[in-house]
């Protein structure tokens, strides 16, 4: 702030006097004095006067004015610096502390020092190779059988001592810092050799095609020209772009926003009054073929609104309508804010609505009747009329029309063996299965017809009733009859044996159960006596864990449980103590 000339007259004399005292106190003493309350008030008045320009600003040691508007935390020097006068030196760069940074063209040296190589071993050098820049343990050469210290031969040259480079913030983060462009020269030369080899190979191929007659002289001249590089850029099939899949008939790239083989939506109907196409969203919501009269199933494209009517879109729309209606009726629900709550309310609403509809329907039917009309079958079933025209003869055969198709099966049907007209298992009598056509109980037997029926029925009836007819006593038995008698006898014997075995097994099981129960009762008595003896003893003389042996860890059997029930004390019996025993 510059000093305003002629304004010193307007400044109070007390402020001017305080400024002189401040200057005297600050400059005259080596250490700043502690300010009293009065001094602090005067310093504030001086600060305000300097900001207004009524008195000159403070001057530092170099003679430069100090801006009075600088904040106190910037203008005030730390106490440990020892400044006794106004200064801003602590805010400026300290020259003695400025570090010298390395330049960008400075980098670590690589390789060995240029110049002459020592011919004899020097004191302090590597004992293995003779170089002065490292010791024996840091030597990277092959360990010699006899080191250079003793032979003095093949002294290795000295390497460059790596300097310690100090880079600033930008130098540390420079990606190309220390890059040597000469190191990339080998890569350039390699690619140049590859290009030369390609040109030679291409010229050789053109020469061979020319000799075989595949190319004309004109094509050969074009091939010898310098337009080959332009042809490579001209055809995309010769390029090698990442993310691109090339084919001779079709080219597909990742840059495509849609499949180019598909017809664009705005090209489906060129009528300007057709469905509107939005180029920003690339959507055509209406059907461009709605005036053609074709059904939507046959159209290649029915508009984007068709997608909105499939899937769960209708459910979402119904849920939104339900939310709006519920909110109007006082229910606080929202589709986006509380979807779970809305789903539960909607499902409960649908259940109640179905129940209300069903109850209303039942009340109407109970009041007016007519439930039989709702359960009546269709007219087609009532009148037995169909659209299939069939003519039948008086015998039931079809004269004209299509015969009703039979249900096909993967199994063979209507195929009978051994002259039978029915299948095995179509007849059952007296616990046996057989054929219905001849009443034969032998599987794969030959059919005997009505005669076999008579013989089989008479034989079975006679065996079951224990009687034989008089006229059949003198007749010899056939093999079929003997076989049937044998089968029936075997079945009877098997039933008797099974019944006897069951009875014997039941008796044996009952006997074993009684023996186990008897043993369990004896064991229970022993346990109770031992328990009473131990409980009667003095607690101090009772063995440790003496009652543990009476508690078995295994699961008790049914006999042991029954013995325990029979021997346990019945405390609810009033005569138990009087009798002096257990029941």
Q: Across-strand partners of 159? A: 112
Tokens 């597909």 — which residue? Answer: 252
Q: Check if the beta carbon of residue 304 is closer than 8 Å to that of residue 284.
A: yes
How many residues in the chain? 583
Q: Which two tokens stand for residue 374?
A: 């709702």
Walk along the chain (583 residues) and give the pLDDT tens digit of each residue.
Answer: 444 444 444 555 655 566 666 655 444 444 456 778 998 899 899 999 999 989 999 998 888 899 999 998 999 888 888 888 889 988 887 776 666 777 777 888 777 787 778 889 999 999 999 999 899 999 999 999 999 999 988 999 998 887 788 888 888 888 888 888 888 999 999 999 999 999 999 999 988 888 887 665 545 454 555 444 444 444 444 444 444 454 545 544 444 455 667 788 888 888 888 889 998 988 898 888 888 878 877 888 888 887 777 778 888 889 999 999 999 998 889 999 999 999 999 999 999 999 999 999 999 999 998 888 888 777 666 766 667 778 888 887 878 777 666 666 777 777 888 888 888 888 888 778 888 888 888 888 888 888 888 887 777 776 666 655 555 555 677 777 788 888 888 888 888 877 777 777 788 888 888 888 888 888 888 888 888 888 888 888 877 766 665 555 577 888 888 888 888 777 777 766 665 544 4
Q: Other CB atoms closer than 10 Å to residue 114's CB: what's the count? A: 7
Q: Rounded to whole angstroms, how far apart are CA atoms 18 and 23?
A: 9
400, containing H or E segment: strand 398-400
What is the chain's alpha carbon radius of gyration, rounded to the nearest angstrom?
60
- Model pLDDT for residues 114-126, shown as the tens digit of each residue: 777 888 999 999 9
Domain ranges of the chain: 8-97, 99-177, 186-253, 416-471, 509-579
Q: Rounded to whole angstroms, how far apart are CA atoms 47 and 45?
A: 5
Alpha helices in 6-103, H assignment, sequence order: 13-28, 37-52, 72-75
Q: Other CB atoms closer than 10 Å to residue 42's CB: what's the count? A: 19
Residues 6+ apart with CB under 8 A from 433: 424, 425, 427, 441
């Amino acid at each position: 702030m510059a000093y305003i000339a002629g304004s010193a007259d307007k400044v109070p004399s007390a402020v001017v006097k305080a400024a002189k005292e401040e200057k005297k106190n600050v400059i005259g003493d080596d250490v700043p004095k502690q300010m009293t309350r009065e001094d602090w008030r005067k310093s504030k008045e001086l600060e305000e006067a300097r900001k207004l320009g009524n008195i000159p600003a403070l001057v530092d040691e170099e003679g430069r004015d100090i801006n009075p508007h600088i904040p106190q935390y910037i203008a005030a020097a730390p106490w440990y610096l020892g400044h006794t006068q106004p200064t801003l030196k602590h805010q400026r760069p300290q020259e003695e502390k400025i570090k010298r940074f390395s330049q960008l063209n400075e980098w670590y040296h690589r390789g060995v020092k240029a110049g002459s190589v020592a011919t004899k071993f020097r004191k302090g050098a590597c004992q293995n190779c003779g170089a002065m820049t490292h010791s024996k343990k840091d030597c990277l050469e092959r360990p010699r059988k006899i080191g250079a210290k003793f032979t003095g031969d093949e002294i290795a040259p000295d390497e460059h001592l790596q300097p310690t480079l100090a880079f600033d913030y930008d130098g540390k983060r420079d990606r190309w810092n220390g890059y040597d462009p000469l190191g990339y020269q080998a890569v350039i030369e390699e690619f140049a050799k590859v290009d030369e080899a390609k040109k030679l190979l291409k010229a050789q191929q053109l020469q061979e095609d020319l000799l075989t007659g595949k190319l004309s002289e004109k094509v050969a001249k074009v091939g010898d020209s310098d337009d080959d590089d332009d042809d490579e850029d001209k055809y995309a099939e010769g390029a090698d772009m990442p993310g691109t899949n090339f084919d001779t008939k079709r080219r597909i790239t990742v840059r495509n926003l849609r499949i180019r083989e598909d017809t664009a939506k705005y090209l489906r109907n060129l009528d300007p009054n057709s469905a509107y196409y939005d180029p920003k969203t690339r959507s055509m919501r209406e059907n461009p073929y709605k005036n053609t009269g074709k059904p939507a199933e046959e159209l290649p494209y029915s508009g984007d609104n068709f997608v909105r009517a499939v899937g769960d879109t209708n459910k979402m729309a119904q849920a939104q309508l339900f939310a709006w209606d519920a909110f109007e009726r006082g229910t606080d629900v929202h589709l986006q804010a509380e979807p779970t709550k809305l789903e539960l309310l909607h499902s409960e609403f649908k259940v109640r609505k179905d129940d209300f509809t069903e109850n209303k329907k039942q009340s109407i039917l109970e009041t007016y009747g007519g439930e039989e009309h709702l359960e009546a079958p269709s007219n087609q079933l009532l009148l037995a009329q169909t659209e299939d025209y069939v003519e039948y003869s008086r015998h039931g055969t079809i004269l004209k029309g299509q015969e009703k198709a039979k249900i096909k099966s993967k199994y063979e049907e209507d195929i009978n063996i051994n002259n039978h007209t029915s299948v095995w298992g179509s007849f059952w009598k007296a616990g046996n299965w057989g054929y219905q056509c001849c009443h034969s109980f032998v599987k794969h037997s030959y059919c005997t017809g009505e005669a076999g029926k008579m013989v089989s029925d008479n034989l079975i009836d006679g065996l079951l009733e224990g009687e034989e007819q008089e006229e059949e006593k003198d007749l010899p038995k056939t093999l079929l009859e003997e076989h049937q008698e044998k089968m029936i006898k075997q079945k009877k014997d098997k039933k008797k044996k099974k019944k006897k075995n069951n009875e014997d097994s039941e008796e044996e099981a009952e006997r074993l159960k009684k023996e186990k129960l008897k043993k369990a009762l004896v064991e229970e008595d022993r346990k109770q006596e031992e328990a009473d003896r131990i409980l009667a003893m003095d607690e101090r003389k009772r063995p440790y864990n003496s009652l543990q042996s009476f508690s078995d860890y295994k699961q008790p059997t049914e006999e042991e449980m029954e013995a325990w029930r029979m021997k346990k004390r019945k405390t609810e019996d009033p005569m138990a103590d009087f009798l002096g025993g257990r029941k």
